[in-house]
């Protein structure tokens, strides 16, 4: 019996040494981590991942044939080469039906949105031909329907007409719109190529809800010009200017016939939409209602010659294929800098809407949408679009919803839609001569209720008041100032919130949860027990930098002082020996942050205590090693807070022996 007892005693004596060696070895894992990738390396990896499906494994293809290299490259740029291999006749039937359905909605909407953008009607149809075809071979969303949308169609003229009045010189105005489209495409493609999608995320969900709702009301008020048959209308977009213009016109020159005709067909479209929502099988009825409205109203005006009695009509729509517009781009003009800025703003808004729409429907079908590939595809299609008389195109929520309800399988539905619109341009534009402008206004008005999401606004208010401030600021900025000011205010508040959250000088004292190895905030978990002789503090900020380093140091010293003294300021009997900084939440640190840590270390040492750090992130520990901070704290770097505490207990045991 003596031998086993002696063996057990020997094992217990060896156990602390083994554990100590394990702690030391794991600390070396942290200290000897490889150097993190630099900025240039990350950019190269990003481009490689964007263009090639195999990403970083591209070097492994060196042993493969040149043909496989080419196939891999082409499949990365043109996803259609991947999914077309499994395409079937059944899928084509579904896509054909979906494509024809959204084409019936797209044709009248495109004409209406072109007039909203203050362009000739055919430019809306042009935008529904080339961009959908380009996206079909480069995009990754299966359900999205590409073409002109209301918000972009309002945003472009609201900014460009400050440079060129579309009424005074429509040709010069059109050239600036095409140039802005070119720059929008350049910025979008750049965002996708270099994985700069986070820039688009500065336009948060709350900002989008407020911005789109405000834009919807402004668009609705703008359509009163067509609905009332007003000839002279304000170019301003704020609600006060628009209401004043309507009030003046109502007392002088407006057409009751336009109003009656427009409201009649607006009611028809809204009723069919209500029926389509109540009975899912009749979804097609709401989809074709706008086209039916155009056909019926055109026939009514033609047969009754109502244009002679005050009904305003579209008149001539130029037909044929998209003409080249390369020579119209103003890349050396006097406004190129301002147009580039407009292109950036419009490009970001268009990307935000498209990605939001694409992700909404991809989540319903359970597949992943590559945001960076989407940006690249959107950018390339708008660049080509600017060469072929198209203005900025993006994903339309209303047409995408119809596309989804129609049972779309792939992007072939966009090809079908584009071909249908192209056939209409070739054969049917002359038939639209007598189409009433009031009908185009009613079609746009019918699409606006879906842009005002009161339920989302209520949820934002309920969950996050700061987000609701962003939402309200965007809404009122668009409504009472201008579209671009509302957008910039929303982005500014979102950006300020990101900075506030990132550098918020947060610290919290940690204690150990009973029966576990976890260390948590003692305020959130009152049952967490403090460790005698150890002060454990977590830095909650993602970035320790010049903006928050001093405040964080003061808060840490405040925690240390509070632990060392009682409420009356007397020194406690408990002798704190170690301060552990949990850096698990700290993503990065700058030179100001390192200098502050060095000052903190000196202050703690002057109090007879030692400083240790636990779980530092890759970039953080790399910079601390370069600054020689690790040696300054005696190499006290640990993988976890628990190991830092155990190491302190081992030191106590060793000192007591």
pLDDT tens sequence across 175-189 = 999 999 999 999 999
DSSP state of 33: P
Instruction: Please compute the mean of the pLDDT values over residues 248-276 and round it to a whole number.
Output: 87
CB atoms under 10 Å from CB of 309, counted, come to 10
pLDDT in tens, 393-416: 999 988 998 899 888 999 999 999
For residue 567, pLDDT over 50 is answered with: no
**Which of 4-18, 430-444, 452-466, 477-491 is predicted with the least confidence, judged by mean pLDDT?**
4-18
Q: Is the pTM of this model over 0.95?
A: no
The per-residue pLDDT for 653 is 65
- 588 three-state secondary structure: strand
For residue 371, pLDDT over 50 is answered with: yes
The better pLDDT of the pair 613, 371 is held by 613
**Which of 40-49, 115-124, 348-357, 425-434 is predicted with the least confidence, judged by mean pLDDT?**
40-49
For residue 13, pLDDT over 70 is answered with: no
> Chain-wide mean pLDDT for the chain?
85
The per-residue pLDDT for 89 is 93
Burial class (CB in 10 A: 0-12, 13-18, 19+), 46: middle
The per-residue pLDDT for 303 is 92
The per-residue pLDDT for 266 is 94
For residue 546, pLDDT over 90 is answered with: no
**Which of 71-75, 178-182, 420-424, 623-627 is predicted with the least confidence, judged by mean pLDDT?**
71-75
pLDDT tier at 7, thresholds 50, 70, 90: very low
pLDDT tier at 65, thresholds 50, 70, 90: low
The per-residue pLDDT for 4 is 46
Report whether 406 contacts 91 (CB < 8 A).
Answer: no
CB atoms under 10 Å from CB of 64, counted, come to 11
Enclosing H/E stretch for 84: none
Q: Could you give the CA distance from residue 342 to residue 176 in angstroms, rounded to a whole number?
A: 10
Question: How many helices (H) and strands (E) in the chain?
Answer: 27, 10
The per-residue pLDDT for 284 is 83
Chain-centroid distance of CA 448 in Å reads 22
Is the C-alpha dihedral spanning 11, 14, 16, 21 positive or negative?
negative
Q: Could you give the CA distance from residue 304 to residue 413 in angstroms, rounded to a whole number?
A: 37
For residue 656, pLDDT over 70 is answered with: no
Q: Could you give the CA distance from residue 303 to residue 305 in angstroms, rounded to a whole number?
A: 6
For residue 570, pLDDT over 60 is answered with: no
pLDDT tier at 380, thresholds 50, 70, 90: very high
The number of residues making up the chain comes to 657
The per-residue pLDDT for 201 is 66
Instruction: Please compute the mean of the pLDDT values over residues 462-477 and round it to a whole number.
Output: 90
Q: Could you give the CA distance from residue 250 to residue 258 in angstroms, rounded to a whole number?
A: 13
Report whether 289 contacts 272 (CB < 8 A).
Answer: yes
The per-residue pLDDT for 395 is 93
The per-residue pLDDT for 537 is 94
The per-residue pLDDT for 398 is 85
Pairing of strands 507-512, 534-539: antiparallel
The pair phi, psi for residue 537, each rounded to 5°, is: -130, 130
Instruction: Please compute the mean of the pLDDT values over residues 52-72 and round it to a whole number.
Output: 59
What secondary structure does DSSP assign to 297-315, as a single string?
HHHHHHHHTGGGGT--B--
Q: Could you give the CA distance from residue 229 to residue 238 in angstroms, rounded to a whole number?
A: 20
- Cα 483 to Cα 154, 384, 391, 395, 489: the distances in Å are 8, 27, 18, 20, 10
The per-residue pLDDT for 282 is 81
The per-residue pLDDT for 6 is 42
For residue 169, pLDDT over 70 is answered with: yes
The better pLDDT of the pair 102, 368 is held by 102
pLDDT tier at 10, thresholds 50, 70, 90: very low
Distance linking the first and last C-alpha atoms of the chain: 28
Instruction: Please compute the mean of the pLDDT values over residues 204-233 and round it to a whole number.
Output: 86
Pairing of strands 543-544, 588-589: parallel
Report whether 338 contacts 163 (CB < 8 A).
Answer: yes
- 571 three-state secondary structure: strand
In sequence order, what are the beta bridge partners of 611? 579
For residue 590, pLDDT over 50 is answered with: yes
pLDDT tier at 267, thresholds 50, 70, 90: very high
The per-residue pLDDT for 648 is 80
The better pLDDT of the pair 646, 57 is held by 646
For residue 333, pLDDT over 70 is answered with: yes
Angle made by CA atoms 201, 369, 497, in degrees to the nearest 5:
15
Tokens matching residue 164: 């060129």
Share of the chain above pLDDT 70, in %: 88
Q: Over the range 131-161, which residues count as b (16 or more CB within 10 Å of their CB) and which as e?
A: bbbbbbbbbbbbbbbbbbbbbbbbbbbbbbb
Report whether 135 contacts 146 (CB < 8 A).
Answer: yes
What secondary structure does DSSP assign to 226-258, as a single string?
HHHT-SS--S--SHHHHHHHHHHHHTSS--HHH
For residue 71, pLDDT over 90 is answered with: no
- Cα 111 to Cα 117, 294, 425, 439, 507: the distances in Å are 10, 11, 11, 11, 57
């Amino acid at each position: 019996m003596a031998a086993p007892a002696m063996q057990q005693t020997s094992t217990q004596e060896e156990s602390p040494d083994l554990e100590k060696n394990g702690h030391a070895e794991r600390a070396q894992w942290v200290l000897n981590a490889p150097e993190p990738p630099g900025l240039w390396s990350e950019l190269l990896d990003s481009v490689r991942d964007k263009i090639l499906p195999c990403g970083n494994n591209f070097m492994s293809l060196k042993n493969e044939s040149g043909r496989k290299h080419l196939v891999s490259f082409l499949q990365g740029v043109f996803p259609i080469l991947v999914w077309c291999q499994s395409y079937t006749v059944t899928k084509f039937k579904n896509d054909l039906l979906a494509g024809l359905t959204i084409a019936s909605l797209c044709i009248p909407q495109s004409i209406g949105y072109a007039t909203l953008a203050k362009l000739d009607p055919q430019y809306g149809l042009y935008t529904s031909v080339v961009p959908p075809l380009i996206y079909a071979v480069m995009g990754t969303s299966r359900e999205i329907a590409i073409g002109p949308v209301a918000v972009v169609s309002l945003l472009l003229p609201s900014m460009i007409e400050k440079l060129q009045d579309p009424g005074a010189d429509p040709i010069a105005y059109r050239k600036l719109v095409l140039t802005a489209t070119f720059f929008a495409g350049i910025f979008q493609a750049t965002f996708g190529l270099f994985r700069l999608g986070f820039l688009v995320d500065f336009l948060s969900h709350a900002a989008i809800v407020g911005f789109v709702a405000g834009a919807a009301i402004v668009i609705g008020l703008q359509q009163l010009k067509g609905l009332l048959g007003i000839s002279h209308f304000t170019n301003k977009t704020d609600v006060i200017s628009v209401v004043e213009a309507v009030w003046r016109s109502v007392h002088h020159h407006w057409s009751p016939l336009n109003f009656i005709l427009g409201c009649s067909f607006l009611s028809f479209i809204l009723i069919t939409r209500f029926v389509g929502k109540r009975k899912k099988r009749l979804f097609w009825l709401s989809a074709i209602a706008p086209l039916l409205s155009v056909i019926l109203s055109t026939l009514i005006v033609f047969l009754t010659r109502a244009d002679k009695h005050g009904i305003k009509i579209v008149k001539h729509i130029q037909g044929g294929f998209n003409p080249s517009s390369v020579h119209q781009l103003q890349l050396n003009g006097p406004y190129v800098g301002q147009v580039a800025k407009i292109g950036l703003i419009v490009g970001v808004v268009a990307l935000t809407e498209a990605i939001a729409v694409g992700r909404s429907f991809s989540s319903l079908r359970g597949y992943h949408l590559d945001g960076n590939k989407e940006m690249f595809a959107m950018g390339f299609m708008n660049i080509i679009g600017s060469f072929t008389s198209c203005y900025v195109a993006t994903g339309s929520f209303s047409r995408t919803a119809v596309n989804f309800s129609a049972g779309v399988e792939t992007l072939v539905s966009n090809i079908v839609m584009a071909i249908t619109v192209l056939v209409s341009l070739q054969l049917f534009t002359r038939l639209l001569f007598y189409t009433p402008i009031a009908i185009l206004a009613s079609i746009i008005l019918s699409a606006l209720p879906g842009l005002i999401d009161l339920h989302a606004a209520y949820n934002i208010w309920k969950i996050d008041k700061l987000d609701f401030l962003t939402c309200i600021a965007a809404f009122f900025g668009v409504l009472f100032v201008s579209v671009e000011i509302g957008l910039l205010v929303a982005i500014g508040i979102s950006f300020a919130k990101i900075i506030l959250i990132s550098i918020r000088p947060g610290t919290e004292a940690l204690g150990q949860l009973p029966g576990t190895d976890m260390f948590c905030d003692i305020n959130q978990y009152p049952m967490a027990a403090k460790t005698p002789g150890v002060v454990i503090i977590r830095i909650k900020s993602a970035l320790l930098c010049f903006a928050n380093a001093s405040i964080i140091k003061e808060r840490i010293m405040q925690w240390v002082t509070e632990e060392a003294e009682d409420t009356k300021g007397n020194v406690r009997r408990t002798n704190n020996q170690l301060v552990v900084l949990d850096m698990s939440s700290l993503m990065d640190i700058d030179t100001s942050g390192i200098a502050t840590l060095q000052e903190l270390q000196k202050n703690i040492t002057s109090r007879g205590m030692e400083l240790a750090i636990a779980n530092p992130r890759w970039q953080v520990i790399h910079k601390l090693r370069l600054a020689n901070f690790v040696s300054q704290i005696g190499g006290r770097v640990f993988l976890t807070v628990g190991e830092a505490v155990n190491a302190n207990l081992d030191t106590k045991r060793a000192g007591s022996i």
